Amino acid sequence: MNMQPILFEQILRGDLQPWREANKHDEKFIPILGAIKQTEPEFQVLYTIEFYRYFNAKSRYYHKLITNETNNFCNQIIQQISSDDDIRIIKYKLGEILKKKLPTLLRDTAKLIKANDYALIYINPHKSTFDSDIDHKSDAYVLQLLKVALVKVYLEIQEVFKEYTTDFYMELEDLYLQYLNESIPEVSFLKPAPQVITVEPIKEIEKPNTRKKVSKSKAITFTYKQLPTNPDALKNLLDSLKLNSLVDEKTTIYDLKKIFSGGENYNPIIWTGNVSDLYYFIVLIHNEFETVENVNPYHWQVTCNCFMKPDGSNFETTQLKTQKAPKQNAEMIKKVASQLN
């Protein structure tokens, strides 16, 4: 997978430069507005972009193109880096992105903005005038939006791998001061994304003279006990799950790690085996082998959080609870689950 920010490079140095003669005319962008396919983020979003509204077909096209590429590029980089288990390789790739490629793009964008006077004032709807040069105004819009998008990309990737970036962690202000050579604006156009809120079940009223029960209801995903010491086991598990057609072929090691690390930042994995196979797999790793932390009596709810059906619908806890060990696949499921031992 390519780690190069190709589309961003094209806007700065290639065929997508907005000031090129071929990209000046608004009519060019009207028929191709629908050609950009929307990409959804495959990570827990930290910020959303709330930029000035586009004012013509050209600014609308670039707005759609750039905001879509922020998700696309983040998805690719996060998936690629997460596919490695070697900490040295992970840190090397993060350094390539966060210390070289993105800082270079930010500096080059800042230089173009300064050299061509693409200041925010020209696109601020409360301060700009309608008689201003529309070409200059459109180009300023594109470069200013690109600057915001690059800042968002940096912060999103850094957040996902924050445990590996402590020695070069950057705040929003740091990015503006060091790479853009400007103070953070009053409006950064990056709005904190709403966090996922989980509703805990109502706690039982403690009866007199009874021992207090410790609630496990805060568990969202499973926690593999040997994750810090035996991370290769998850890779072996994924290979075994795919080999036996139990999960979707597109499932990545990053996806699997997320549902076995006890966190909330995850995407459910598509279970392509039978419901009884999933039931028995959970019984083995949770009850029999005890290779994951005990979250009883919420393990079926956690299972429904972590896995979904091929059609995108959710499993039901009542459905899982009533299953029995599969007669034909029992031995196969046991071999798969034993990868975590």
Residue type, 227: L
- φ, ψ for residue 199 (rounded to 5)? -95, 120
d(CA 139, CA 209): 73
This model's pTM is above 0.75: no
Our separate counts of H helices and E strands in the chain read: 12, 4
Angle at which helix 57-82 crosses helix 87-95, to 10 degrees, equals 160
Stretch 40-67: mean pLDDT, rounded?
A: 94
| Residue 233 pLDDT | 94
| Residue 131 pLDDT | 58
Reduce the DSSP state of residue 35 to 3 states and report it: helix
Task: Mention every residue, 6+ apart, whose C-beta is less than 8 A from residue 251.
Answer: 238, 241, 242, 269, 270
Does residue 205 register a pLDDT over 80?
no
299-336 pLDDT, tens digit per residue, is 999 999 999 999 989 999 988 988 999 989 999 999 99
b/e code 81-97 from CB counts within 10 Å (16+ = b): bbeeeeeeebbebbeeb
List the domain boundaries for the chain.
Answer: 6-192, 232-340
